[in-house]
Amino acid sequence: DAKTTQPTSMDCAEGRAANLPCNHSTISGNEYVYWYRQIHSQGPQYIIHGLKNNETNEMASLIITEDRKSSTLILPHATLRDTAVYYCIVRALGQFYFGTGTSLTVIP
Amino acid sequence: KAGVTQTPRYLIKTRGQQVTLSCSPISGHRSVSWYQQTPGQGLQFLFEYFSETQRNKGNFPGRFSGRQFSNSRSEMNVSTLELGDSALYLCASSPGTASIRNEQFFGPGTRLTVL
């Protein structure tokens, strides 16, 4: 059951900010937004999560709209190592629903 | 802390055989989830175990089963393998409290090829 919608692919110049959007218009009040990324053939890596407030950690920032129907993951200074598939996931109790993700390519 | 480990990393089986995959969670984590990843279907949830009990189950046939031991290690078993079972099988662990804020930590996966 896909609960999120993401663009299939995006490019970003190295050193620039990468802004990855996610639509989750059916999100419930108790569901968190999580972001993971997966570098080719490796296990997904946790990036960040939030409920309604904007969040920032050493990897990225998460901006959630006031109505919580969409969010944006921001990688402030993209590097070549950030090339990966990025998954936006909503989750309450229970399983994580991974969509198809956004394939981000960082271009030198 | 050591991360999530999965064994074996690669496996080749033939149709009709069965296979058992193993996952050791991060020390202290009590929840283990299993996912199947294929090019066509993406990452799909199989099941989740917490304290030796299956807590959630995805939409997979009964050929896919799992269990969790008292030390939180988990195994998944696929019987009567089909070609379509070829996939990367990922295990993820989390602290496993009832909090929905717990993120999952993934292992490197087991690449299963069914011939």
B26-73 pLDDT per residue, tens: 999 999 999 999 988 888 989 999 889 998 888 899 999 999 999 999
List pLDDT tens digits, range A63-74. 999 999 999 999
**Can you give the pLDDT at residue B98?**
46
- At residue B103 the predicted structure's pLDDT band, cuts being 50, 70 and 90, is confident
Q: How far apart are CA A101 and CA A4, in angstroms?
A: 9
Max avg pLDDT among A19-33, B29-43, B79-93: B79-93
B112 touches chain A (CB under 8 A): no
CB of B108 within 8 Å of any CB in chain A? yes
pLDDT in tens, B9-21: 999 999 999 999 9
Taking a contact as any Cβ pair under 8 Å apart, which residues of chain A between 58 and 97 contact chain B? 87, 91-97
- For residue A16, give how far its alpha carbon lies from the nearest alpha carbon of chain B (Å): 28
Q: Which residues of A touch B35 (CB under 8 A)?
A: 98
Residue with tokens 């309450």: A92
Mean pLDDT of all residues belonging to chain A = 91
Res. A84: pLDDT tops 60: yes
Q: Is the pLDDT of residue B101 over 70?
A: no
> Which residue in B1, B2, B4 sits closest to B105, CA to CA?
B4
Q: Which residue of A has its CA nearest to B97?
A: A93
pLDDT higher than 80, residue B76: yes
Answer for the pair B31, B55: CB distance below 8 angstroms, yes or no: yes
Quick one: which H or E segment has residue A61?
strand A61-64
DSSP letter for A80, please. Answer: G
> B45 to chain A: which residues are within 8 Å by CB?
95-98
Contacting residues of B for A45, CB less than 8 Å apart: 106
pLDDT computed for residue A42 by the predictor: 86
Q: Which of A16, A59, A58 is nearest to A36 (CA)?
A: A59
Strand A102-107 relative to strand A9-13, pairing: parallel
